[in-house]
Amino acid sequence: MLGTSAGWVPAARAQERSSIETARAHMEQGQAYYLQGRFGEAAAEFEAAYEAEPFSAFLYNAAVAYENAGDLSRALDYFRSYLQRDPSASDRDAVEQRVARLTAELERRRAAAEAAPPPTEEGAPPAEGTPPAETAAPAVEAAPPPAALPEDFKSLVSVRTDPEGATISITQEGREVARGSSPFSYTLDQGRYHVRIEHPDFNVAEQDVTVEPGKVYVVIVNLSQGEFLGYLRVVSDVPGAQVFVDDREAGPRGRTPFEGPVPVGAHHVWIERAGYETVEQDVEVGVGEEREVRVELQRVAFGRVRVIGNVRGARVRVDGELVGTVPFEGQVPAGEHVLRVESDGMKAFEQRIAVARGQLTPVRVRLRPDVGRGGAWVASTFAVLLAGGGVALAFVAEDLRATLERERDAGTLATNDERLDHGLYYTIGADTAFGLALIVGAVGLYYLLYDPLPPSEGTVLEARDWALAPMVDPRTGTIGAAAGGRF
């Protein structure tokens, strides 16, 4: 229903809407200046409002501001313009009395100014026979800043209907104060009024409206639904946030800065932007009111990390914990972390990264092939075997030597004993095995440490905001959201 109500305003009325908004903005600024005691500036804002929308309310308020500023001549001009613009004004008698009072006051001041003698040179006595000079009328000072707007400040009520041409009747306590066809605008005093809208093709729509002094009310009515609409504006310090009204499942109404008509009454508003905490706020929109919601968005306490690389399926670890595989994108607490990307047969990439709150940190990784260590392990195995064989031969040679020495000492060892040659062979074999083990071990260590290929490399790109893109499940037709962006 909200979408239908918001979309009914035809494009042809865009300029009209703009002029009303301009008048409203000048009226509100004029009120602010008036309450600060800056009456001249307030009057200028009311004049600008009249240029945007030529209604008598702005003339009257400008007159009151000039009167408080002490500029009675201009105040008198604007009060007279007010009566000319709205000859049937309900307060015509009171304004005419005010005009008469201001006229008399200006005449009195002019007479006092004409009666005052011309000034003499400083220190020179007045000419003989010159009567004593009367005291000149003091300059009129501006009034002090008021605590509130005066109750007689005029307001403008503008009624817009879809379709146009409806008969508008505004009554107060049973007395009709205005009647016309939509689009219809009228200057009203402070008070409570009843607005009745009739159209031959639709049911009667009616609503009570409370008018406060010095405001512009834009009453929007969708006759097909019988709804009175107010205007909602949502502004965030970070533009582009999605705005949801009442029904979040129905999708966003727009993005900030957002404005559009909504039914009169209470509404619940969500303001969401990827990377920021969701803000929820309740707002009451009155008839003809433009309610503004201003929010400051706060970054979420986490960020996202996206890893793409040349090896699909490579494992991604953050602080040692497996979080996914390439291509990867996931949520990571804000702060510094150690990112590691690894795959079988490839050199691992590892780097410390800083994850910003509410932002996406993209990482590009290129894994390089790892050097095969099979030859190194084979050489190392042979070196161990050779060393073991050398140790065994050394033990046998040592044991045989000890035996032969005991026999030599006993005088039983023959000079042509074959064991003397065997001992020599065992010793040479042990020394040869140790030498070969050393050589093969050195070769194995070389191949274990030698790496002719470049290391894996990666680039951590500058963090950026991410956006949520809608996703539609082709099987169920349900709508979800996914984080998206580009490197």
Predicted local confidence at residue 15, as pLDDT: 53
Per DSSP, the three-state class of 70 is: coil
Residues 460 and 439: beta-carbon distance below 8 Å: no
pLDDT category of residue 374 using cuts at 50, 70 and 90? low
- Report the top-level CATH class of 13-107+150-221: mainly beta
Predicted local confidence at residue 375, as pLDDT: 62
CB atoms within 10 A of CB 469: 12
Q: Identify the burial level of 67 via C-beta atoms within 10 angstroms of its C-beta, where 0-12 means exposed, 13-18 middle and 19 or more buried.
A: buried
Predicted local confidence at residue 423, as pLDDT: 74
pLDDT above 60 (res 185): yes
Residues 190 and 153: beta-carbon distance below 8 Å: yes
**Domain residue limits, the chain:** 13-107+150-221, 229-295, 373-449
CATH 2.60.40.1120, domain 229-295, yes or no = yes
In angstroms, the Cα distances linking 477 to 251, 472, 473, 474, 484 are 15, 6, 5, 5, 20
pLDDT above 60 (res 18): yes
What is the tens place of the pLDDT at every residue in 448-485?
Answer: 665 667 888 899 998 888 765 443 333 344 444 444 44
Average pLDDT, the chain: 81
Strands (E), 152-310: 155-162, 167-172, 175-181, 184-188, 191-199, 202-211, 216-222, 227-236, 242-245, 254-255, 258-263, 265-272, 279-285, 290-295, 302-309
**Angle, to 10 degrees, between the axis of helix 56-69 and the axis of helix 39-52?**
170
pLDDT category of residue 141 using cuts at 50, 70 and 90? low
Q: Which residue has the tokens 């008018």?
A: 211
**Interior/surface letters 171-181, b for 16+ CB within 10 angstroms, e for the rest:** ebeeeebbeee
pLDDT above 80 (res 346): yes
d(CA 374, CA 372): 6
Q: Which residue has the tokens 């979420």?
A: 300
pLDDT above 60 (res 401): yes
Predicted local confidence at residue 327, as pLDDT: 92
Q: Which residue has the tokens 């939509």?
A: 182
Predicted local confidence at residue 10, as pLDDT: 45
pLDDT category of residue 170 using cuts at 50, 70 and 90? very high
Percentage of the chain modeled with pLDDT above 90: 32
pLDDT greater at residue 257 or residue 416: 257
Contacts of 67 (CB under 8 A, 6+ apart): 75, 102
Task: Tell me which H or E stretch contains 332.
Answer: strand 328-333
Residues 8 and 162: beta-carbon distance below 8 Å: yes
Selection from 302, 304, 293 nearest residue 254 by Cα: 293
Predicted local confidence at residue 487, as pLDDT: 42
Structure tokens at 447: 């191949």
Backbone angles phi, psi at 33, to 5 degrees: -65, -40
d(CA 309, CA 313): 9
d(CA 414, CA 406): 12
Q: What is the pTM of this model?
A: 0.57
What is the tens place of the pLDDT at every residue in 26-62?
Answer: 998 998 999 999 999 999 999 999 998 888 889 999 9
Per DSSP, the three-state class of 107 is: helix
**Interior/surface letters 383-408, b for 16+ CB within 10 angstroms, e for the rest:** beebbebbeebbebbeebbeebeeee
State how beta strands 360-366 and 302-309 pair: parallel
d(CA 404, CA 288): 123
* Average pLDDT of span 183-212: 88
Predicted local confidence at residue 17, as pLDDT: 59
* CA angle, residues 106, 110, 111, in degrees to nearest 5: 115
In CATH terms, are 13-107+150-221 and 229-295 the same topology? Answer: yes
Task: Tell me which H or E stretch contains 397.
Answer: helix 374-410
Structure tokens at 88: 């049937």
pLDDT above 50 (res 3): no
- DSSP per position, 160-192: EEESS--EEEEEETTEEEEEEESSEEEEE-SEE
* Average pLDDT of span 372-390: 74
